[in-house]
């Protein structure tokens, strides 16, 4: 990690006047990365991205250059790029800021990726609720067409590229990459069995790369400043900077761009970021990467918010959604709400997830409402294990990782706060009474 002052890449222009407009983006050096990439051979571009150690920001942290290299070069079929802007994992709210404040950064990444992959059609899939963000993105796309960045030629190069925004219609599961492809094909969002992976059989049966909004917005920086520089900003296995979303019981929630070596403690307590908890309150638990990620205890927060470091703790950096709960928050109530989300959003395709997610929810409600019986915690733990045992992460018995996402919180809450669940059952009530939501749970 460089010793010089930290320089934000993705969020540098947020909040500046007209930061979303093409001319402002160009004034900041925008589309220079594309110019450089267009001078290279496609294979070289993929190599540069590999060298940059850029890893996907959508959740799994998959190396981006490697993913691109899986697309068959000799396929006679058209190839597609699908941008994942579904952003629905609870606690995650970073991609919307890119779309609102600097959509051209993502569009430049799209153009570079498309040229490298031989893609002539790109679909930007945004969650249905992103009406304003879709308008912003569409306006930026229109500017890009008018400026000869998209269309019959890309910056004068004999390469056609079309780009369209498609809005979802309210389904978390469509963030899962194969469900997203089904949805783009005009169907309900039922994830597909993998393999085959989308890079080989994706949209309309053709090779397709699915990348997150932030991943693509990171791509131009690899080319403007060089892959070595980009890799050097990060850790051994993970290049660049990343956006993290801080929410829950902290004084200053928000999206912050951080160096990959920054720790959860820094994010929560540093003056630049979260500025700590309200007076007198202590951290009880932290969700490190979207609500599906197993929680961390207060003594585990000196870990860097980087994929590998977080993995050592048997949890995940995931989508960058960090949710803080203070010592007056009820863990049963919190887990119940999280469980309800996954039950609501299960697509219903496989039995452990379809049946297990509502079962978890019913048990948690029963315990929280003081109707729990001895043995309920064991049943809950068994139900979660039948969806996906833990640890480690990734043992799910289901078609897609929503099953894991639903079971992991249950496992991790029970591992750390079993006593609190037992107390609910013993006392036949919630020990937090009608104040289960911590220091900011009141509203006025």
Ligand X SMILES: Cc1cc2nc3c(=O)[nH]c(=O)nc-3n(C[C@H](O)[C@H](O)[C@H](O)COP(=O)(O)O)c2cc1C
Q: Which residues bind other proteins (CB under 8 A)?
A: 78, 87-93, 95-96, 127-132, 162, 164, 166-172, 183-189, 204, 245-249, 253-255, 287, 291, 321, 323, 325, 329, 334, 337-338, 341, 344-345, 437-438, 440-444
Distance between the two ends of the chain, CA-based, in angstroms? Answer: 44
The region of 28-36, 206-214, 309-317, 417-425 touching ligand X under the rule CB under 6 A is 206-214
Which residue minimizes CB distance to ligand SF4?
353
- DSSP letters along 344-357, please? HH--S-SHHHHHHH
* Token digits of residue 279: 């007076």
Give me the half-sphere count of Cα atoms (radius 13 Å) on the Cβ side of residue 118.
17
Give the interface size with ligand X as a residue count (CB under 6 A).
Answer: 24
The binder of ligand X chosen from 114, 133, 137, 211 (CB under 6 A): 211
User: Could you say whether residue 346 binds ligand SF4 (CB under 6 A)?
Assistant: yes
Q: Residue 185: is it exposed, middle or buried by C-beta count within 10 angstroms (0-12/13-18/19+)?
A: exposed
Dihedral, CA of residue 41, residue 34, residue 206 and residue 53, to nearest 10:
80
**C-beta closer to ligand X: residue 248 or 289:** 289
| Contact assessment for residue 216 and residue 81, using Cβ atoms and an 8 Å cutoff | no
102 binds, among ligand X, other proteins, ligand SF4, none (CB under 5 to 8 A by kind): none
* Contact indicator for 93, 101 with CB cutoff of 8 Å: no
**Binds ligand X (CB under 6 A): choice among 48, 176, 257, 376:** 176
Cβ of residue 396: shortest distance to ligand SF4, in angstroms? 7
Tell me whether residue 109 or residue 438 sits nearer to other proteins (CB atom). Answer: 438
Q: Does 350 bind ligand X (CB under 6 A)?
A: no
State residue 326 phi and psi, 5-degree precision. Answer: -90, 175
User: Which of ligand X, other proteins, ligand SF4, none interacts with 304 (beta carbon under 5 to 8 A by kind)?
Assistant: none
173 or 407: CB nearest ligand X = 173
Q: Of ligand SF4, ligand X, other proteins, none, which one does residue 175 interact with (CB within 5 to 8 Å by kind)?
A: ligand X
Q: Is residue 222 a contact partner of residue 49, using CB atoms and an 8 Å limit?
A: yes
Whole-angstrom distance, CA of residue 41 vs CA of residue 31: 18
Burial annotation 370-395 (CB, 10 A radius, 16+ → b, else e): eebeeebbeebbebbbbbbebeebee
Site membership for ligand SF4, residue 191 (CB under 6 A): yes
Smallest separation, CB 1 to other proteins (Å): 26
Q: Which of 22, 25, 86, 430 binds ligand X (CB under 6 A)?
A: 86
Binding-site size, ligand SF4 (CB under 6 A): 14
* String marking each residue 400-439 x if it binds ligand SF4 according to CB under 6 A: x-xx------------------------------------
Residues 154-183, one symbol each (x = binds ligand SF4 by CB under 6 A, - = not), give -------------------x----------
Cα separation values, 221 from 16, 29, 260, 422, Å:
19, 10, 16, 51
Quickly list DSSP for 141-153.
HHHHHHTTSSBSS
Q: Which of 117, 171, 210, 309 binds ligand X (CB under 6 A)?
A: 210
Which CB atom, from 176 or from 326, has the smaller least distance to ligand SF4?
Answer: 176
Token couple for 364: 């948690």
User: Is 203 in contact with 160 (CB distance < 8 Å)?
Assistant: no
Q: What are phi and psi of 248, to 5 degrees?
A: 90, -155
Q: Give least dist CB 397 to ligand SF4, A.
A: 9
Residues in the chain: 444
Beta bridge partners of 151: 161
Are residues 21 and 147 in contact, defined by beta-carbon separation less than 8 angstroms?
no
Helices 331-345 & 351-368 angle (0-180, nearest 10) = 150
Q: What are phi and psi of 378, to 5 degrees?
A: -65, -40
Nearer to ligand SF4 (CB atom), residue 42 or residue 389 = 389
In this complex, which beta carbon is closest to ligand X, that of residue 199 or of residue 414? Answer: 199
Residues within window 56-75 making contact with ligand X, judged by CB under 6 A: 56-60, 62, 67
The span from the CA of 222 to the CA of 218, in Å, is 7
Closest separation in Å from C-beta 84 to ligand X: 3
Quick one: which of 30, 33, 175, 234 contacts ligand X (CB under 6 A)? 175
Which residues here bind ligand SF4, judged by CB under 6 A? Answer: 173, 191, 346-350, 353-354, 398-400, 402-403
Which residues here bind ligand X, judged by CB under 6 A? Answer: 56-60, 62, 67, 84, 86-89, 173, 175-177, 210-212, 215, 400-402, 405
């Amino acid at each position: 990690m460089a010793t010089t002052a930290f320089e934000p890449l993705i969020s540098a222009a947020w909040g500046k006047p007209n930061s979303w407009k093409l001319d402002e983006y160009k004034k900041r050096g925008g589309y220079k990365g594309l110019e450089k990439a267009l001078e290279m051979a496609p294979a070289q571009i993929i190599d540069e991205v590999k060298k940059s150690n850029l890893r996907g920001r959508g959740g799994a942290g998959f190396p981006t250059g490697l993913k691109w290299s899986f697309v068959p070069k000799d396929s006679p079929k058209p190839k597609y790029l699908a941008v994942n802007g579904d952003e629905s994992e609870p606690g995650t709210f970073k991609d919307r800021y890119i779309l609102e404040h600097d959509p051209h950064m993502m569009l430049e990444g799209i153009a570079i990726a498309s040229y490298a992959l031989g893609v002539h059609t790109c679909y930007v899939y945004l969650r249905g609720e992103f009406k304003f963000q879709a308008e912003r993105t569409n306006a930026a796309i229109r500017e890009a067409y008018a400026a000869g960045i998209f269309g019959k030629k890309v910056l004068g190069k004999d390469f056609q590229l079309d780009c369209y925004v498609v809005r979802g219609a309210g389904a978390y599961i469509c963030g899962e990459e194969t469900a997203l492809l089904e949805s783009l094909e005009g169907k309900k969002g039922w994830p597909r069995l993998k393999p085959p992976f989308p890079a080989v059989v994706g949209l309309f049966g053709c090779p397709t790369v699915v990348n997150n909004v932030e991943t693509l917005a990171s791509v131009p920086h690899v080319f403007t400043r060089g892959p070595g520089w980009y890799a050097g900003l990060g850790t051994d296995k993970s290049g660049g900077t990343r956006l993290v979303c801080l929410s829950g019981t902290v004084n200053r929630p928000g999206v912050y761009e951080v160096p990959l070596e920054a720790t959860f403690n820094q994010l929560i307590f540093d003056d630049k970021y979260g500025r700590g908890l309200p007076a007198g309150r202590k951290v009880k638990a932290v969700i490190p990467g979207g609500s599906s990620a197993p929680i961390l205890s207060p003594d585990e927060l000196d870990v860097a918010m980087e994929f590998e470091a977080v993995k050592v703790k048997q949890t995940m950096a995931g989508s960058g959604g960090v949710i803080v709960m203070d010592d007056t928050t009820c863990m049963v109530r919190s887990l119940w709400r999280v469980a309800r989300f996954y039950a609501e959003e299960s697509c219903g395709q496989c039995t452990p997830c379809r049946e297990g997610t509502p079962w978890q929810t019913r048990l948690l409600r029963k315990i929280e409402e003081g109707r729990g019986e001895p043995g309920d915690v064991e049943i809950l733990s068994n139900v979660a294990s039948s969806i996906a045992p833990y640890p480690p992460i990734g043992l799910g018995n289901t078609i897609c990782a929503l099953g894991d996402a639903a079971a992991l919180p249950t496992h991790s809450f029970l591992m750390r706060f079993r006593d609190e669940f037992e107390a609910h059952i013993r006392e036949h009530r919630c020990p937090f009474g009608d104040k289960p939501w911590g220091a900011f749970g009141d509203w006025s």
